[in-house]
Structure formats: structure tokens, C-alpha cells
């Protein structure tokens, strides 16, 4: 196992900046998820670690060595591909043992080792089959087995679960989590699924437009999203974001928007700095921090019921505010609220997130 | 009910029309179903009485005819090996390397290959072959066909390779394979169906061709079956119909067999797009 | 899961990773590049060069041809006999008529009709019809030539036998109507390509489009006109250009008629052959080749620009 480091890495394709001046490091034994929408540069970053793309500028280090210009075969890494890349003409045993074959291992060693790994992944009984003769979930495990069959410095995963159906995906996610805890492997995992990233990662790098927006532990990203982009991307359903007008005087900050009542907040230096850029801020509250409240009570948002989706253990209650924007609450309710009924949703002070005019987080007191 | 009745009648009319056109296409070929098996066959359509393989025995007893088939085989197999190998390598490079200008190369080759047809370039091809001292040799035919078929073969294969995910070779290299190992262990086996199609296509083209060997070959000993058949029926006197019928059938068999093979293996539409 | 030591190997530096390095790529391209250069690209330029000489197959101008400028082209385009039988102009016009009648009209229309019919008929009718249409296309050209030679025979041929049986007079079609014989012949020979191209185009249209039309009560003709035809417009253009080029260059009718009788089926490809290899005038033959290639070039440029537009 080894660490990975990016030093001012840039990758351009023609005039398109896939990755712009990114620096970050991954500690030995860490499981880092690169999370972001498609085209954010996460896969390109992963492929630069693998050596399948060469950076336009900057350095990539694995275990302290500058591997920027190493051929992929010389990097001692493993990678699981989104489409699994199982060789259609080889049976599972040969697929799994291919890395050992190119390392010149004997047939007996190859097959013994392939069987060991396959047994752990519960595909030991399929070793004679061709990839086309097994299910999608089994194919996924075969590609994982091929990555685990030889010792690696870093394990790379390129959306390995995105081709599985929902149930298998959960199962595979649990297995990967177990594996990571068991092996303590250094892993870089690309995904656009925030739940996957939250479940697996020791740290998440949220990427947008070729840059890392926030690099922190899952809980930190959930509790203190650095930007409205992160707030919107992590959490399901995403955080409600409402533009509010800010007025401040005698140490107090008053925020106002139609249909919203808010207690005054204590002014902080961070807030006054943010207000230098304009007097519109963004207020954020997560759906799970909203609950039905009395109309007119402090710290509430009100509107008319737009939709009420029963999810089993909870409901997603969406209201439409007078300006047409919508706010969703994740609440436990059996109440029969009719369409267009007036609904008031309340939240508590400590669950309020504030973002400045360009979407950056304004740290709360004590952050 | 009226609607379904008219739809039903329409269906019958369509089927009848399709069958009629099919029959029109079959007519000129019907003769070939009977004459090879008729020891007294003439140019008229007649059911053999009795059915016999005597004509085939005559063909295989005719040294010139057998020799010509053998020549066809040499030229086709030689050409196919060259086209298959060179096109695979070139198409792989066009698909997988980052060579600057490969798009321009592709475009220029495609342009030239459609401009320089055999019937437009027969004079310079003749001159090049004779300048190289290859006149009246198998090699002349093999090389000419290899050059002429290669551009199209390359494009068919390049498209095929483009449609294969790069993750095959990428995963091999990440797992420690050198580019050579990745090519032979992973890429080549995955590309094989495309190579088979190209090889079959080249074989059928060379095997059935007439003009190029007709121009480049002079002596009877090198002549392929296509030229032999033409000389059988075009030269003075009445053609020996029995021999010709059986010989033409034998000569057509590889093409029919390969066609059936490809349509069984890949479905004939795939084959459809790529002849000529 | 493992305790094996990480092995260390010598590491080769790559400047810019690609699955195939530029050096290897160039090596991979070399064999094909050489063959294509010598047998496709060189002939293209050589034919232009030869067309400005009086090179012949035999005699002293075979070895030491003289530069004659545009003389070969002036001969080809000599207004005093341009349109006479056996001259270039006659051949060019004949070829144009041949392409119009047998490719653009015959092959394309018949192919379109077949492709549409075959969609709707029972599978066994489809299979039998397809088999014969495709057989006409894949069998070697000399075999086809001989088959038609037998089919059209004055005394015994199948066609005349059929005509007689319905009380019509026999005809020696190769002598009386040679042009229409090669038109029908080429239509018959090549319709399969258009049929298959249009067939695969039709089958790439989602069936739901036609089902929606069925629900709306459209007739078969309306479905063809309003859905099928507009959606395969691109394929039609492709088909027309390809079959035009192939028909323009085809040499196969030679196997049926030898260009005769008295030059009445002498297409430019056959004219080129006669000038170069019967009359042994390579310079003049080369000039014909150059004109053919220019015509090919025009079609190829149109075709390639269409292909580019589709990709871009």
C-alpha cells in the first residue's frame, strides 16, 4: 500500500480543461472517493493515477515516487473498470489470473491464486465459465477479483457499481466497505453517486469543472458543505437553498424572504466579510432537518403543498413558496395534507447553513 | 372486419409481388441447378435424365481446369494473408495510436481508394507490374489486390476496433501487460471477428475477380479459374457446355460456402454492407 | 489479503501515454502504407503522366515514349467524330445512360421496393426472395456472365423458351437490344446491395414509429411515404452515390457482350480496355483513365463530405 499525491496537475484535451491545477494527497490506507457530476474531471484524475492519461502539467506521485511519466504496467496498481473489461475469450480463471500471467507466474500458482480470490468473492464455482455466461453481479465480482489477485500499491475504481441494479449495488457496496476495513487498502474510487461516496470513503473529494471544491471526511462534507454546489450534491434529497435578503444593525443580522420567519443571528466577522460582496445570501436547510410547525412560529418556511410522497418510513413533503421555488422536507408523518393546503415547516437554529453571494459557506460561530 | 380483410388481401398481394421478383432473379440461375448434373446438357433448361456427376469427373480430369482452380486458390489465399495482416496492423494503429495526422491519412486513403478503380487504373497498374518485372506471376495479382483492397479493409476493421472498448487493453496494461502483450493476449482475440469478415470479404473479391488477372497474366499455367471460364465460353467455336456448367458450379462453391458461413456467424446484413 | 512483496522492475518513461505509441503506430502502418502507395497512389499519378505521352504496348514508343502534351485528350475530344460509335464521346454518353437506367433507376428503385416488401411478407417468402437476389450479387462475375449467356441464347435459352411457350416470338437479344440487355443485367446483378442497405436502414427505425402510425390508421403506402422514406433519406443518398460509382466503373458487362455488337455496349471501362490492350495505345488509354478518375473524384468528394457532415 502506498500514498498518492497530485501536485498542481492540469489536463487539457484540446481547448477543454478537464482538470485544472489540482493538488491533493491521499494517505496510505485511505479510501478516497472522487465525487462529482459527469465532466467534472474525476475520471480523468483517476486515469492519470493509473497512467492511462498523461498530465499536461504537474506531477503524480505514488508512494513518494514521481510516476507522472511511468507506463501503467510499471505502476503496481490495480483498477476496476466501469464496464469490467473482462476478456470475452478467456474463462473466469484466466481472466482473474491474467495479471499473474504477465508477471510470469506458473500455471499452478496462477490457478491456485485465482481460486483463492474467487472463493472469497463467492465466484469460485464459476471459474470455468466465460464472462458472457455469468450475471452482471458476478461479472462485477470477477473484475474485482482480477484487481485483488496481485499485490498493489493503490486500488483504483472507476464507477464500478454503476452498471448494477439497485439491490446488487447495495450488496456490492457493503462488500467493498468490508474489504477496505479488512485490507486497509489505499483506494481511489470515482463515483457520481453521493450515497456510495458517503458509505465507502474515509475522505471525499467533491469535484466540479476540473477542480476540487471540497476535500474532507464524509461527515464534514455533510455537516459543513463548503459551497452551495457541495450542499446541493451531497444529501438525498439535496439541501434546500433559499435566497434571502440580509440587513444588519447593532450586532444582529436579519434575514428575510417571502414566507420565511427567522430569528436574528449574531453578527460575526465572517458574516460581515461576506456581506461586503452584496446583500443577498443563501440560506440552506437539509430536508431531514425540517418538520411540520405552527404557522407564524420563528424559524419557519411556509407555502402550499405541492407533493407528498410516501417513502415508507418517511414522507417527502414538498411545498411551493409564493415565488414558485420549492422546499422539500423529509418527515415522519401520516397526516393527510391536501394539495394546496398551507404548510409550515420549521427548523432549529443550529441546522441553518449560510452561503455568500457566490455560494461559499459562511462559517457559523465556532467553526 | 372490412379493414382486416383488405389488410389480409394486401398482405397476399405483397407476398405475391415479392415472390414474383424473387422468381425473376432466380430465372437466369435456374440453368445452373440442372446443367452441371446433366451429361448431355446444352444451353437450354432441361431436367437431367439421369442425374449424374459425370461432368464433374470430366472437370477433374482436365488438367487446365484443375490448374486454374489451384491458381485461383494461390492468388486468393496469398492476397488474403497480406490484406488480413496489413489491414489488422494498420487499423489497430489508426484506432489506438495518437499519431498526428492519422485522420488526414484515413481521409486521403479513402479518397484514393474510391477514385483509383481497377478499370480506371488498368494502364498504370499494368505498367507498374511490368516495370517491377512481375508480369505474368501470381505475385503480381496478389500485390495488386492487396493494395487495392487494403484501404476498404482498413476502414472496416478500424470501425470495428473503434467499437471495441479501450478498457480491454487498458485493464491489461494496468495489470502489468506490455503493449505487445496487450495486443496479442487481449486486443487480437477480441478483434478476430472483424478480421474474419475482412478476410472473407477479400477472399470473395479476389476469387471472383476477372479484370486484373485478365490483364496481368498471359500464360495458361498462371491463369485463375475466372479467366479460364471466360476463355472457355468466349473463344471461337461452341463452348463445351457440360464442362463449363460443372466447372462454374465448382468455382462458385467457395463463395457460396463463405457467404453461408458469414451469414450464419454474423448475420448477412453485416456481410451486406461490405462487398465491393 | 496478501503479504507478497511489491516487486520492482525497471521503468520505462512515456512522454504521452497512448495504447499504441507513435513509434509502434508508425511501424504498424508501414506494410499497408507501402502496398497502398505502390498500387493505389502511384498509379493515380502515373496514369496522369502516361496520358501526356504516346506510350504504346509494343514498338519503339513502348520503351521510349515521347511527350505529346494534350494530344491524347484532343483525340478523345475530337469534335469531328466525338459521338461516333467506338469513339470516346459515344462511350461516355452510353455509360451515362447506363448509370441512369441501371443504377439510379433500376437498382435503387428495385432495391427500395424489395427492402420494403420484405419487411411485411412471411419469413419464408422473404428468405427465398432474398436468397436469389443476393445470389445474383455474390456469385463470381464470370459465372454470372456465362449464366446470362445461356439464359439469352437465341435457340435454346430459358428466356426464349418462356417466350415461345406463351406464344411470343423469339429474339436474339444480345444482337438486337444489347444496351437494354446490359441495363437489365446490371440491375439484376446489383439490386441486392440497395436492398440490403435500405433493409438495414428500415430495420433501424424503431417499430414503435410504425405501430403509432398503425394506431392512427395509416395505410402501408402512407407509412412508407410518411415515415419510412423520410427517415432513410441519408441512406438513399449514400446508396445512390455508391451504386453510381460502382456502375460507372463496372467491367462486368464485358463478360456478356465484349462491348459489342459494333461498340453498342462499349462502356468507358471497356473502351479503356480496348484502347489500351487491343489497340495498344497506352497514352490514350491513360487519358481515358484520367477522365474516369476525375469523374470518380467528383463523386467521392461529395460522398466523403456527406460522411463528414454526418459525423460532425
Look up the CATH number of the domain holding residue B216: 1.10.3720.10
pLDDT at residue B276 greater than cutoff 70: no
Distance from CA of A189 to the nearest CA of C (A): 19
* Opening angle at CA A57, ends A55 and A60, nearest 5: 55
**Contact with chain C for residue B170, Cβ under 8 A:** yes
**Contact with chain C for residue A52, Cβ under 8 A:** yes
| Average pLDDT rounded to a whole number, residues C302-306 | 80
Q: Rounded to two decimals, what is the model's pTM?
A: 0.86
**Contact with chain C for residue A183, Cβ under 8 A:** yes
Chain A residue with Cα closest to B178: A73
Distance from CA of A152 to the nearest CA of B (A): 9
Work out the percent of chain A whose per-residue pLDDT is above 90: 62
**Segment of A241-255, B26-40, B141-155 carrying the highest mean pLDDT:** B141-155
**Contact with chain B for residue A13, Cβ under 8 A:** no
Total domain count, chain B: 1
Chain C residue with Cα closest to A185: C1
* C-beta separation of C251 from C270 below 8 A: yes
**Contact with chain B for residue A306, Cβ under 8 A:** no
Stated as kind and residue range, the H or E segment containing C285 is helix C282-311
Chain A residue with Cα closest to B182: A102
Distance from CA of A70 to the nearest CA of C (A): 5
pLDDT at residue C312 greater than cutoff 60: no
Which residue of C4, C14, C17 is in closest CB contact with A151?
A: C4
Helices and strands, counts by H and E, chain A: 9, 21
Mutate to test the interface with C, among A13, A48, A55, A70 (most CBs of C within 10 A): A70
* Opening angle at CA A359, ends A353 and A361, nearest 5: 40
Question: What CATH number corresponds to the domain at position A59?
Answer: 3.40.50.300
Which residue of A82, A83, A102 is in closest CB contact with B177?
A: A102
For residue B167, list chain A residues with Cβ-Cβ distance below 8 A: 81-83, 85
Instruction: Please report which confidence band the pLDDT of residue C242 belongs to, taking 50, 70 and 90 as the band edges.
Output: confident
**What CATH code is assigned to C84-280?**
1.10.3720.10
Burial A339-353 (b: 16+ CB within 10 A, else e): eeeebbbbbeeeebb
Q: For residue A366, tell me if it sits in a domain.
A: no
pLDDT at residue C260 greater than cutoff 70: yes
Mutate to test the interface with C, among B32, B120, B139 (most CBs of C within 10 A): B120
Q: For residue A219, tell me if it sits in a domain.
A: yes
Q: For residue B38, tell me if it sits in a domain.
A: no
For residue C14, list chain A residues with Cβ-Cβ distance below 8 A: 51, 54, 69-71
Last residue of a domain, one of A183, A214, A232: A232
Distance from CA of B92 to the nearest CA of C (A): 8
Last residue of a domain, one of A193, A214, A232: A232
pLDDT higher at C4 or C199: C199
Question: Which chains have at least 3 CB atom pairs separated by less than 8 Å from chain A?
Answer: B, C
Distance CA B225, CA B213 (A): 10
Work out the percent of chain C whose per-residue pLDDT is above 90: 9
Instruction: Please report which confidence band the pLDDT of residue C207 belongs to, taking 50, 70 and 90 as the band edges.
Output: confident
pLDDT at residue A225 greater than cutoff 90: yes
Q: For residue B212, tell me if it sits in a domain.
A: yes
* C-beta separation of C274 from C266 below 8 A: yes
pLDDT higher at C58 or C211: C211
pLDDT at residue A241 greater than cutoff 90: yes
Q: For residue B19, tell me if it sits in a domain.
A: no
The pLDDT value recorded for residue C60 is 67
* Same domain flag for A222 and A256: no
Q: For residue B152, tell me if it sits in a domain.
A: yes
pLDDT at residue B165 greater than cutoff 60: yes
For residue A101, list chain B residues with Cβ-Cβ distance below 8 A: 185
pLDDT at residue B236 greater than cutoff 60: no
Work out the percent of chain B whose per-residue pLDDT is above 70: 94
* Same domain flag for A305 and A258: yes
For residue B21, list chain C residues with Cβ-Cβ distance below 8 A: 110, 113-114, 117, 129, 133
**Contact with chain C for residue A120, Cβ under 8 A:** yes
Mutate to test the interface with C, among B9, B108, B111, B119 (most CBs of C within 10 A): B119
- pLDDT tens track for C66-78: 788 787 887 878 7
**Contact with chain B for residue A146, Cβ under 8 A:** yes
Segment among A105-114, B144-153, C8-17, C130-139 with least mean pLDDT: C8-17
Q: For residue B246, tell me if it sits in a domain.
A: yes
Instruction: Please report which confidence band the pLDDT of residue B275 belongs to, taking 50, 70 and 90 as the band edges.
Output: very low
User: Of B73, B23, A123, which Cα lies nearest the Cα of C129?
Assistant: B23
Total domain count, chain A: 2
Question: What CATH number corresponds to the domain at position A339?
Answer: 2.40.50.140
For residue B112, list chain C residues with Cβ-Cβ distance below 8 A: 36, 40-41, 44
**Contact with chain C for residue B113, Cβ under 8 A:** yes
For chain C, positions 9-38, list CB contacts with chain A under 8 A.
9, 11-17
Stated as kind and residue range, the H or E segment containing B236 is none
Q: For residue B147, tell me if it sits in a domain.
A: yes
Instruction: Please report which confidence band the pLDDT of residue A158 belongs to, taking 50, 70 and 90 as the band edges.
Output: very high
- The string of DSSP codes covering C61-81 is HHHSPPB-TTHHHHHHT-TTT
- Note whether C277 contacts B124, CB cutoff 8 Å: no
- Note whether B176 contacts A83, CB cutoff 8 Å: no
Question: Which chains have at least 3 CB atom pairs separated by less than 8 Å from chain C?
Answer: A, B
Residues 6+ apart with CB under 8 A from A93: A110, A111, A114, A115, A118, A127, A128
For residue A52, list chain C residues with Cβ-Cβ distance below 8 A: 17
* C-beta separation of A2 from A153 below 8 A: yes
Dihedral of the CA atoms C199, C205, C207, C211 (nearest 10)? -110
Distance from CA of B113 to the nearest CA of C (A): 7
Q: For residue A362, tell me if it sits in a domain.
A: no
Segment among A165-174, B42-51, C224-233 with least mean pLDDT: B42-51
**Contact with chain A for residue B163, Cβ under 8 A:** no
pLDDT at residue A235 greater than cutoff 70: yes
The pLDDT value recorded for residue A87 is 94
- Note whether C15 contacts A74, CB cutoff 8 Å: no
Domain that holds residue A335: 238-355
The pLDDT value recorded for residue A239 is 94
Question: Which chains have at least 3 CB atom pairs separated by less than 8 Å from chain B?
Answer: A, C
For residue C23, list chain A residues with Cβ-Cβ distance below 8 A: none
Segment among A31-35, B207-211, C236-240 with least mean pLDDT: C236-240
Which residue of C21, C40, C136 is in closest CB contact with B25?
A: C136
* C-beta separation of C129 from B22 below 8 A: yes
For residue B248, list chain C residues with Cβ-Cβ distance below 8 A: 142-143, 146-147
**Contact with chain A for residue B173, Cβ under 8 A:** yes
- Note whether B19 contacts C129, CB cutoff 8 Å: yes
| Average pLDDT rounded to a whole number, residues B238-256 | 85
Please state, in angstroms and as integers, the Cα–Cα distance from residue A174 to each residue in A28, A124, A142, A323, B202, following that order: 22, 20, 16, 42, 53
Taken in order B109, B115, B119, B120, the sign of the CA dihedral is negative
Burial B213-245 (b: 16+ CB within 10 A, else e): bbbbbeeeebbbbbbbbbbbbbeeeebebbbbb
* Same domain flag for A18 and A155: yes
* C-beta separation of A39 from A64 below 8 A: no
The pLDDT value recorded for residue C299 is 85
Residue B75: alpha-carbon gap to chain centroid? 12
**Segment of A57-61, C141-145, C167-171 carrying the highest mean pLDDT:** A57-61
- Note whether B172 contacts A102, CB cutoff 8 Å: yes
Looking at chain C, how many residues does it have? 312
pLDDT at residue C2 greater than cutoff 70: no
Instruction: Please report which confidence band the pLDDT of residue C205 belongs to, taking 50, 70 and 90 as the band edges.
Output: confident
Instruction: Please report which confidence band the pLDDT of residue B270 belongs to, taking 50, 70 and 90 as the band edges.
Output: very low
The pLDDT value recorded for residue B237 is 59
Query: Would you list the domain boundaries of chain C?
Result: 84-280
Q: For residue B21, tell me if it sits in a domain.
A: no
**Contact with chain C for residue A78, Cβ under 8 A:** no
Distance CA C187, CA C106 (A): 5
| Average pLDDT rounded to a whole number, residues A145-165 | 91
| Average pLDDT rounded to a whole number, residues B92-118 | 86
Instruction: Please report which confidence band the pLDDT of residue A59 belongs to, taking 50, 70 and 90 as the band edges.
Output: very high
Residues 6+ apart with CB under 8 A from B259: B204, B268, B271, C134, C138
pLDDT at residue C7 greater than cutoff 60: no
Phi, psi at residue B228, to the nearest 5°? -60, -45
The pLDDT value recorded for residue C12 is 65
pLDDT at residue C237 greater than cutoff 80: yes
Which residue of C28, C43, C296 is in closest CB contact with B89?
A: C28
* C-beta separation of A287 from A332 below 8 A: no
Chain B residue with Cα closest to C186: B25
The pLDDT value recorded for residue B271 is 38
Domain that holds residue B81: 54-272
* Same domain flag for A197 and A318: no
pLDDT at residue B174 greater than cutoff 90: yes
pLDDT at residue B29 greater than cutoff 70: yes
| Average pLDDT rounded to a whole number, residues C38-48 | 87
For residue C17, list chain A residues with Cβ-Cβ distance below 8 A: 51-54, 71-72
Q: For residue A34, tell me if it sits in a domain.
A: yes
Residue B140: alpha-carbon gap to chain centroid? 18
Amino acid at each position: 500500500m502506498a500514498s498518492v499525491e497530485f501536485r498542481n496537475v492540469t489536463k487539457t484535451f484540446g481547448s477543454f480543461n478537464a482538470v485544472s491545477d489540482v493538488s491533493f494527497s491521499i494517505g496510505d490506507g485511505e479510501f478516497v472517493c472522487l465525487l462529482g457530476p459527469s465532466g467534472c474531471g474525476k475520471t480523468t484524475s483517476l486515469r492519470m493515477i493509473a497512467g492511462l492519461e498523461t498530465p499536461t502539467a504537474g506531477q503524480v506521485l505514488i508512494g513518494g515516487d514521481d510516476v507522472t511519466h511511468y507506463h501503467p504496467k510499471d505502476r503496481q496498481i490495480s483498477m476496476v473498470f466501469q464496464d469490467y473489461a473482462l476478456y470475452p475469450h478467456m474463462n473466469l480463471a484466466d481472466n482473474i489470473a491474467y495479471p499473474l500471467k504477465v508477471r510470469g507466474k506458473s500455471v499452478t500458482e496462477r490457478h491456485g491464486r485465482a481460486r483463492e480470490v474467487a472463493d472469497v468473492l463467492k465466484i469460485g464455482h464459476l471459474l470455468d465459465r466465460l464472462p458472457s455466461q455469468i450475471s452482471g453481479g458476478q461479472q462485477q465480482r470477477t473484475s474485482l477479483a482480477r484487481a485483488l489477485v496481485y499485490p498493489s500499491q493503490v486500488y483504483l475504481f472507476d464507477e464500478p457499481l454503476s452498471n448494477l441494479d439497485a439491490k446488487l449495488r447495495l450488496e456490492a457496496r457493503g462488500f467493498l466497505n468490508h474489504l477496505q476495513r479488512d485490507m486497509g487498502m489505499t483506494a481511489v474510487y470515482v463515483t457520481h453517486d453521493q450515497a456510495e461516496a458517503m458509505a465507502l470513503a474515509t475522505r471525499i473529494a467533491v469535484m466540479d469543472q476540473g477542480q476540487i471544491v471540497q476535500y474532507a471526511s464524509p461527515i464534514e462534507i455533510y455537516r459543513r458543505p463548503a459551497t452551495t454546489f457541495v450542499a446541493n450534491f451531497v444529501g438525498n434529497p439535496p439541501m434546500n437553498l433559499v435566497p434571502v435578503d440580509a440587513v444588519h444593525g447593532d450586532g444582529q443580522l436579519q434575514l428575510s424572504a417571502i414566507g420565511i420567519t427567522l430569528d436574528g443571528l449574531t453578527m460575526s466577522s465572517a458574516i460581515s466579510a461576506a456581506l461586503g460582496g452584496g446583500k443577498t445570501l443563501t440560506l440552506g436547510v437539509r430536508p431531514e432537518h425540517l418538520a411540520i410547525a405552527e404557522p407564524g412560529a420563528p424559524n419557519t418556511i411556509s407555502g402550499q403543498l405541492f407533493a407528498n410522497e410516501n417513502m415508507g418510513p418517511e414522507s417527502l413533503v414538498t411545498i411551493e413558496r409564493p415565488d414558485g421555488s420549492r422546499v422539500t422536507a423529509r418527515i415522519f408523518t401520516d397526516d393527510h395534507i391536501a394539495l394546496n393546503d398551507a404548510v409550515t415547516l420549521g427548523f432549529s437554529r443550529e441546522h441553518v447553513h449560510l452561503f455568500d453571494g457566490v455560494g461559499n459557506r459562511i462559517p457559523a460561530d465556532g467553526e | 372486419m372490412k379493414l382486416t380483410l383488405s389488410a389480409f388481401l394486401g398482405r397476399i398481394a405483397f407476398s405475391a409481388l415479392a415472390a414474383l421478383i424473387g422468381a425473376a432473379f432466380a430465372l437466369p440461375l435456374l440453368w445452373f441447378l440442372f446443367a452441371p448434373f446433366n451429361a448431355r446438357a446444352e444451353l437450354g433448361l432441361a431436367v437431367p435424365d439421369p442425374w449424374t456427376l459425370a461432368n464433374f469427373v470430366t472437370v477433374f480430369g482436365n488438367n487446365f481446369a484443375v490448374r486454374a482452380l489451384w491458381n485461383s486458390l494461390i492468388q486468393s489465399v496469398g492476397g488474403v494473408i497480406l490484406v488480413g495482416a496489413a489491414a489488422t496492423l494498420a487499423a489497430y494503429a489508426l484506432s489506438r495510436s495518437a499519431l498526428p495526422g492519422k485522420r488526414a491519412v484515413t481521409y486521403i486513403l479513402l479518397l484514393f481508394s474510391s477514385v483509383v478503380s481497377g478499370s480506371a487504373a488498368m494502364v498504370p497498374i499494368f505498367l507498374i507490374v511490368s516495370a517491377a518485372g512481375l508480369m505474368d506471376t501470381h505475385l503480381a495479382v496478389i500485390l495488386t489486390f492487396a493494395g487495392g483492397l487494403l484501404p476498404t479493409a482498413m476502414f472496416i476493421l478500424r470501425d470495428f476496433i473503434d467499437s471495441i472498448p479501450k478498457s480491454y487493453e487498458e485493464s491489461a496494461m494496468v495489470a502489468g501487460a506490455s503493449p505487445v502483450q496487450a495486443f496479442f493476449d487481449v486486443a487480437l482475440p477480441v478483434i478476430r471477428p472483424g478480421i474474419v469478415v475482412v478476410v472473407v470479404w477479400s477472399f470473395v473479391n479476389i476469387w471472383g475477380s476477372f479484370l486484373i488477372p485478365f490483364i496481368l497474366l498471359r500464360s495458361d499455367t498462371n491463369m485463375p479459374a475466372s479467366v479460364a471460364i471466360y476463355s472457355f465460353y468466349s473463344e471461337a467455336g461452341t463452348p463445351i457446355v457440360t464442362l463449363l456448367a460443372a466447372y462454374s458450379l465448382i468455382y462458385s462453391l467457395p463463395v457460396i460456402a463463405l457467404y453461408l458461413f458469414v451469414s450464419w456467424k454474423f448475420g448477412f446484413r453485416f456481410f451486406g454492407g461490405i462487398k465491393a | 489479503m496478501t503479504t507478497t512483496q511489491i516487486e520492482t522492475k525497471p521503468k520505462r518513461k512515456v512522454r504521452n501515454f497512448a495504447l499504441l505509441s507513435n513509434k509502434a503506430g508508425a511501424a504498424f502502418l508501414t506494410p499497408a502504407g507501402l502496398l497502398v502507395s505502390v498500387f493505389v497512389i502511384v498509379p493515380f499519378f502515373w496514369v496522369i503522366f502516361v496520358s501526356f505521352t504516346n506510350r504504346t504496348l509494343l514498338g519503339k514508343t513502348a520503351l521510349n515514349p515521347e511527350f505529346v502534351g494534350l494530344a491524347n485528350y484532343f483525340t478523345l475530344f475530337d469534335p469531328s467524330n466525338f459521338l461516333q460509335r467506338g469513339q470516346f464521346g459515344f462511350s461516355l454518353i452510353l455509360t451515362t445512360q447506363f448509370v441512369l437506367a441501371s443504377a439510379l433507376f433500376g437498382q435503387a428503385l428495385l432495391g427500395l421496393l424489395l427492402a420494403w416488401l420484405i419487411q411485411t411478407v412471411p419469413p419464408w417468402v422473404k428468405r427465398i426472395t432474398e436468397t436469389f437476389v443476393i445470389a445474383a450479387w455474390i456469385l463470381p462475375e464470370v459465372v454470372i456472365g456465362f449464366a446470362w449467356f445461356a439464359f439469352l441464347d437465341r435457340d435454346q435459352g430459358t428466356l426464349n423458351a418462356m417466350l415461345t411457350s406463351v406464344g411470343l416470338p423469339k429474339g436474339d437479344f444480345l444482337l438486337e437490344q444489347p444496351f437494354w440487355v446490359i441495363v437489365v443485367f446490371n440491375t439484376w446483378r446489383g439490386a441486392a446491395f440497395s436492398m440490403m442497405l435500405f433493409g438495414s436502414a428500415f430495420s433501424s427505425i424503431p417499430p414503435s414509429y410504425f405501430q403509432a402510425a398503425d394506431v392512427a390508421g395509416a395505410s402501408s403506402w402512407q407509412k412508407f411515404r410518411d415515415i419510412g422514406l423520410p427517415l432513410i433519406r441519408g441512406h438513399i443518398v449514400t446508396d445512390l452515390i455508391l451504386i453510381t460509382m460502382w456502375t460507372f466503373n463496372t467491367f462486368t458487362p464485358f463478360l456478356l457482350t465484349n462491348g459489342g455488337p459494333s461498340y453498342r455496349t462499349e462502356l468507358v471501362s471497356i473502351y479503356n480496355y480496348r484502347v489500351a490492350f487491343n489497340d495498344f495505345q497506352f497514352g490514350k488509354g491513360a487519358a481515358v483513365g484520367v477522365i474516369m478518375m476525375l469523374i470518380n473524384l467528383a463523386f467521392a468528394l461529395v460522398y466523403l463530405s456527406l460522411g463528414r457532415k454526418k459525423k460532425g
